Amino acid sequence: MDPETITINDQLVKLPKHVAIIVDGNGRWAKERGLTRMQGHDAGFKNLKKLANHIFDRGIKVASFYVFSTENFKRSAEEVGHLMDIFVILCRRELKTFMKNNIKVVFSGGDAPLPQKVIEARDWIAEQTKNNTGGIINFCLNYGGRAEIVHAVKRIAAEKSADEIANLTEQDFSKYLYQDLPDVDLMIRTSGELRLSNFLLWQNSYAEFYFPKTKFPDFSADDFDQALVEYTLRDRRFGGIKNA
């Protein structure tokens, strides 16, 4: 079946089902302006809200945002604390918007060592929005791709018989990831870094990668549309023969 298409500035553009974004460059964006890293994160999250609205307006059904990796706990207490405060505020303040737009909020990532207030705010908004059907926003918070795979393996080992494990398929395995979402079609990392940094290792298996130089606080709706144009030009073969 042909993927859904839309028109942007008279151009026919393919819509990915699942877009995943590594929101990178907040710190460097701030430094360039003589601001603190904390101010960079404030600007980044302001932009994330705008961009998420735009993505769902375009008709995309699933959007993942990498907002805090398991490795990001290595940063200063001040920076980690500020980001944790941002997550709590985001969950509490944005419920109205998610309800209005019919967006289900889900999270990928472990609990420890997240502060209790973040766990509570996270679980609260997930519960409030669980019946929404217009789209899914997946916040990868305290997320690591390897940790996710190990977590899935442990759950499978605990819940399944030896026989079921012997017959386990890739599809079965996917159901044990933090969230059961479609594979990523388009993975965007802002700020010019050309790496995955442990992001959705399983789900990005056949994703198209797009690496704009723009730092996340400046990554606009138009920049996102440009990524869709580029995505449309890609020839996704999935190991098959070119279809031209």
Spell out the residues 6+ positions from residue 241 whose beta carbon is closer than 8 angstroms to its own.
none
CB of 72 to ligand IPE, least distance (A): 5
Q: At what angle do helices 77-93 and 37-57 cross, to 10 degrees?
A: 30
Is 72 designated active site?
yes
What is the nearest approach in angstroms of ligand IPE to the Cβ of residue 99? 25
Identify the active-site residue in 9, 26, 47, 72.
72
CB of 197: closest distance to Mg ion in angstroms?
8
Tokens linked to 42: 């404030």
Is the CB of 13 or the CB of 70 nearer to ligand IPE? 70
Binding site for ligand IPE (CB under 6 A): 22-28, 44, 66-69, 72, 83, 191, 193, 195, 197
**CA dist., res. 155 & res. 228, Å (int):** 36
From Mg ion, ligand IPE, none, interface partner of 145 (C-beta below 5 to 8 A by class): none
Contact 49, 94 (CB under 8 A): yes
**Interface residues toward Mg ion, by CB under 5 A:** 24
- Cα separation values, 149 from 155, 176, 177, 185, 214, Å: 10, 9, 7, 20, 31
24 is known as an active-site residue: yes
Query: Between residues 26 and 64, which has the closer beta carbon with respect to ligand IPE?
Result: 26
Residues with a catalytic annotation lie at: 24, 72
